[in-house]
Amino acid sequence: MAGPDRNPLRRLLALPNESRAKTVLMAFLVSGICAALVSGATVLMRPIQAANRAAEEQAHIASLVEGIPGMADLLEQSGGMLSRVVIDLESGRAAAGVTPATLEAALADPANWSAMDAGQDLAGLGQRPNYVQVFLLRSGEEISLLLLPLSGQGYGGRIDAIMALRGDMNTVAGIAVTSHSETPGLGGRIDEAAWQAAFSGTELRGDTGAVLFRVARGTASSIHEVDGITGATRTGIGVTNMIRFWMGPDGYGPFLDAVQRGEF
């Protein structure tokens, strides 16, 4: 006579299909296998996703630069290359020990993020990375163009953009909105080329050094404004606050001061 089957899997499968124990155990088994597959796929896809994000960012940067009058000539004269540097936002200087290649790993560490109180957090981010990668174009020894990543809260969610500044670190050469969740036909118009083109020539700061840029609630009336979008006041406020934050003392302010002192 055959002894009892000691294989737990065969014993489980031998139970009647209406068995509650079999149903629960099979559900746990299937869930565990699915979780393992999803985790494995996430690990395998992470380098591909990172590469895709980098390629998308480069495409936006190339598009932004090509749309700025005279930039194609400057790129050609300088070899067609933008240099990259990781900035320590606290000091405004090049980060010590963090490079473009190691930036993603550095920002995976919560210690490399700074929480902000409500008075600081104009952009509505909650926390700010301590390190950011920026792009520089030189004409001889001088920086002729600076590309700065921006992010902030709009009406529908997060807005990401790249802003190009002229060598005076105050005049906007262009802007490219790279992602957003604003309402189509209203705030969603921030990704229209015609609206973004209005940023060119806008000045960020006034004579006192204060950041005066804003999206107007109608037609722009000063060198520091761009036209608002009808029906998208809250989106305009979000863009205003995003730019004011990043151009201020808790964003790129210390870095821009360092550039103007000739430290880069």
Q: Are strands 172-179 and 158-166 parallel, antiparallel or unpaired?
A: antiparallel
Task: Decide if 261 contacts 92 (C-beta within 8 A).
Answer: no
The domain locations on the chain are 7-66, 70-260
CA gap 94, 110 in Å, rounded: 20
Task: Decide if 56 contacts 178 (C-beta within 8 A).
Answer: yes
- pLDDT tens readout for residues 148-195: 999 999 999 999 998 989 889 999 988 888 889 998 889 889 988 888
- pLDDT tens readout for residues 54-70: 556 556 665 666 655 55
- pLDDT tens readout for residues 201-219: 999 999 998 999 999 998 9
Q: 258 or 51, which is more confident? A: 258
- pLDDT tens readout for residues 15-42: 676 677 667 776 777 777 877 676 665 5
State the pLDDT at residue 149: 92
Per-residue pLDDT, averaged over 95-103, amounts to: 91
Task: Decide if 189 contacts 231 (C-beta within 8 A).
Answer: no
